[in-house]
Amino acid sequence: MVYKFEGKIIKFDTKKNPLLDIVLEFFGASSLTDIFKKFSNSEIYSKLYQLEKTKKFSDIYKNLVTAMENELGTNEFYFQKIPSFRIHRIHTNSVLYHNDIMYGHGEEVVNVWVPLLNTNKMNSLFLSNINLSKKALKEFKNKKMSLIEANKLFQSASSPCLVNYGEMLIFNTLIIHGTAVNSSNEDRISLDFRILPHGSDPSTKLIDDFYLNNKYEEKKIKKTFTACLYYLNKKNPIMENCSHSIQRQIMDMYSRENSFNSDGLEETEIHGVSHYPSICHYIEEVKIKNILMASLLCLPSDKTLRKQILMLAKKNDVTLHFCLENKDSSNVSIETLNAYYESILNSPMVQ
């Protein structure tokens, strides 16, 4: 479901949720201005993300998320695991104009923006509307604009939304938004988070990485995971600079997105020999049904050996998953896999 929020403002109780008070207390400051006088931008961000880990902040954050249930008319949604903090110092800009789809968020995501002060026309968030956003984005794509050119266009389609402390600004992820140079005399700290309705497309943001289930659904949803083996291999020239740690990270992301669980089961290819005994053993003898590897390029660079392994997997009904390419041997032909591999091998970058 697409929620067509174009800048709706809802309130929350600052006595029950004293967001500003806990920030000032954590910084040992009397005001936001005091924070900006005492700390650099990097120090402010560092302390805010330390604060995010505390129970005081976590309880308030959960209350803000819960307040969204009434607006969405459902408790079936995911919310951003760690909210994003923003600072808007006097005489500076905070962010260029954009919409969140441009940075990999799904079209059905809802943005929630929460300032820690009463904003003014120069330190608040500027918002467009859906129609102007669509028109500007179309022009940005068609004219292949630079970010600076797009920023000028997007800014012309936006206007400031005055939001007070104790209020939350809600808008659809399609909406263009950004900030002007803060020519006021008030520095600003804000936080924002995103809501993803259940069943909606998160785009490039992996649900398990970026979101949490809302508290009502945590008890209901039980994922089932498919067993697999992590296969690690640095023998090939193309993979020799891809550490086992990096290979695991790639496989971990693929596993989370596709509901696999290695349960610690992994195997490293044997070094010092010209053949590939480890993967052959797990295909032919152990017969692990799903073997994950960071990339198709973990297979032999020798075409004959590579074809033998692919055919062995097919014969034993074992699926090889190539995580970086997001493909597997069950739905891509051996000929296609080999053609891709050879094109990489023969690239001028590899020669």
Asked whether residue 18 is assigned to any structural domain, the reply reads: yes
- Domain assignment of residue 253, given as a range: 226-345
Asked whether residue 105 is assigned to any structural domain, the reply reads: yes
Where residue 296 sits, what CATH number does that domain have?
A: 3.40.50.1390
Residue 344 pLDDT: 87
Query: Are 140 and 283 in a shared domain?
Result: no
User: For residue 112, which of 176, 169, 172 has the smallest C-alpha distance?
Assistant: 169
Indicate the DSSP class of residue 100. G
Structure tokens at 30: 């009397």
Last residue of a domain, one of 159, 189, 215: 215
Last residue of a domain, one of 162, 188, 215: 215
Asked whether residue 221 is assigned to any structural domain, the reply reads: no
Query: Are 82 and 162 in a shared domain?
Result: yes
pLDDT tens for the chain, 351 residues: list them: 678 899 999 999 999 999 999 999 999 999 999 999 999 999 999 999 999 999 999 999 999 999 999 999 999 999 999 999 999 999 998 889 999 999 999 999 999 999 999 999 999 999 999 999 999 999 999 999 998 999 999 999 999 999 999 999 999 999 999 999 999 999 999 999 999 999 899 988 888 889 999 864 444 445 678 999 999 998 887 888 899 999 999 999 899 889 898 888 899 998 888 889 899 999 998 878 999 999 999 999 899 999 999 999 999 999 999 999 999 999 899 999 999 998 988 888 766
What is the amino acid identity at position 20?
L
Asked whether residue 284 is assigned to any structural domain, the reply reads: yes
CA-based R_g, the chain, Å: 25
Query: Are 92 and 148 in a shared domain?
Result: yes
The domain total for the chain is 2
The Cα 236–Cα 59 span in angstroms is 50
Residue 238 pLDDT: 80
Element housing 261 (H / E):
strand 260-261
Residue whose structure tokens are 């697409």: 2
Query: Are 186 and 120 in a shared domain?
Result: yes
Asked whether residue 29 is assigned to any structural domain, the reply reads: yes
Residue 194 pLDDT: 97
Query: Are 253 and 195 in a shared domain?
Result: no
Asked whether residue 220 is assigned to any structural domain, the reply reads: no
Query: Are 56 and 190 in a shared domain?
Result: yes
Where residue 22 sits, what CATH number does that domain have?
A: 2.60.120.620
Query: Are 246 and 182 in a shared domain?
Result: no
96, 147 in Cβ contact below 8 A?
yes
Query: Are 67 and 113 in a shared domain?
Result: yes
Query: Are 198 and 288 in a shared domain?
Result: no
Query: Are 267 and 168 in a shared domain?
Result: no
User: For residue 53, which of 87, 22, 89, 30 has the smallest C-alpha distance?
Assistant: 22
Residue 223 pLDDT: 63
Residue 219 pLDDT: 47
User: For residue 32, which of 190, 166, 193 has the smallest C-alpha distance?
Assistant: 190
Query: Are 192 and 236 in a shared domain?
Result: no
Residue 212, beta-bridge partner list: 79
Asked whether residue 53 is assigned to any structural domain, the reply reads: yes
Residue 218 pLDDT: 47
